[in-house]
Amino acid sequence: MSYQTIVCEKRQQTAWIFLNRPEEMNSLSIILVNEFLQVLNEVEQDETIRVIVLSGKGKTFCAGADLKELLVNLDQKSEGQKGILDIAGNIFERLNILSKPLIAALNRITLAGGLELAMTADIIIASDKAKIGDVHSNFGVLLGGGGAVRLSRIIGVNRAKYLLFTGDFITAQEMKDYGLVQKVTPADELEGVVQELADKLSAKSPLVLKEMKKLVRDGLEQPLDIALRQELLALKNHTRSHDFQEGLSAFAEKRIPNYKGF
């Protein structure tokens, strides 16, 4: 299926989703968000896809919400009608519960809502030309996609407040030093490096990766003793799965496992 603002390519067992409004810095418009939701639902349901990569076309990963459209939308939105902020919120809610591994490939400029999008990913790989920051304060706008909450948890409260308050950009390497970015690679090698990682993850049990995502997410929101009990219970339940038996059998037989995801 073709889209106006999204490019989706299947590479091996990986779905590459590109935001495709380069002339508008891949900013989030109503059309883009609706198409993005549709693509996410499609790749989530496709059992042949095991990993999802999110990136941007052109010189931007994503610059956040389309502020021009936001201003017009707020002026014209009728009572009870969903606006761009409501629809954009649906994207973050969907990404928060995505069951498949999500890699954010930051090609270049990553700002505001673009940074919020990146932080929903399980792994962030950035090109050495990427510039990353939050510019909400530069336009008198508050964050709404989890930026303040996630950023402070990932890089620390004071670093997060500095970036949020100043609206400054920093390099991908600085964000790696802060713990947000897991790897920085030359710009012309970004897609190859990300695909290599995606292939590595695709060879794992999709059931295990799905449950690991859930355990990490739930564990952050639970007291330690409850989270630990949940983890042990998940392991006990997992021992009844095909992938558990297949993984141990393949190890014993010295062969490559054939995971099914159940």
- Beta strands 102-106 and 51-56, pairing class: parallel
CATH class of 6-202: alpha beta
3-state secondary structure 198-248: HHHHHCCCHHHHHHHHHHHHHHHHCCHHHHHHHHHHHHHHHCCCHHHHHHH
Residue 72 pLDDT greater than 90, yes or no: no
For residue 89, the model assigns a pLDDT of: 83
Distance (Å, whole) CA 130 – CA 105: 10
For residue 187, the model assigns a pLDDT of: 96
Residue 65 pLDDT greater than 90, yes or no: no
Q: Which are the contacts of 89, defined by CB distance < 8 A and separation ≥ 6?
A: 144, 145
Residue 20: both structure tokens together: 């495709």
* Residue carrying the six token digits 């505001």: 112
The length of the chain in residues reads 262
- Give me the residues paired with residue 54 across strands: 17, 104
Residue 81 pLDDT greater than 90, yes or no: no
- Radius of gyration, CA atoms only, the chain: 19
pLDDT in tens, 127-151: 999 999 999 999 898 898 888 999 9
Side-chain half-sphere CA neighbours of 241 within 13 A: 19
What does the domain layout of the chain look like in residue ranges?
Answer: 6-202, 206-253
**pTM for this model (two decimals):** 0.92
pLDDT in tens, 245-261: 999 999 999 999 999 99
Q: Which are the contacts of 211, defined by CB distance < 8 A and separation ≥ 6?
A: 234, 238
- Give me the residues paired with residue 36 across strands: none
- Which of 6-15, 26-35, 65-74 is predicted with the least confidence, judged by mean pLDDT? 65-74
Per-residue pLDDT averaged across 206-215, rounded?
96
Side-chain half-sphere CA neighbours of 194 within 13 A: 31
- Give me the residues paired with residue 16 across strands: 9, 53
At 1, is the pLDDT very low, low, confident or very high (cuts 50, 70, 90)? low
